[in-house]
Amino acid sequence: MLTAVAVLASLLFIGWLIYRAVRRRPVKAHVVCYAVACVTGVYTFAFFLGMDMPQLIKVVVSIILGVVLIFMAAYLQRRRQISKR
């Protein structure tokens, strides 16, 4: 079930990007990074819940990995913005 949610989230994200491109509206990089981090978090959550481990360990590991991915996306975005100045 969570895999289906992750696939739908990915399709919605791609559709949103196409919609913005057709309307010729700019897309800020931090919004894209945040959306990619959220979709990646859902995929990670679905992956860990599919493994044979106690439920608590699955949830804790997926949350920690999601936090790490979001932090990495924010850090890389901030570093790119500083280097452009």
Res 80: pLDDT: 79
Q: Above 70 in pLDDT, residue 1?
A: no
Res 77: pLDDT: 83
Res 83: pLDDT: 75
Positive or negative torsion for Cα 69, 70, 75, 78: positive
Q: Above 80 in pLDDT, residue 43?
A: no
Res 2: pLDDT: 63
DSSP 34-82: HHHHHHHHHHHHHHHHTSSS-HHHHHHHHHHHHHHHHHHHHHHHHHHHH
Total Cβ atoms within 10 A of residue 39 = 20
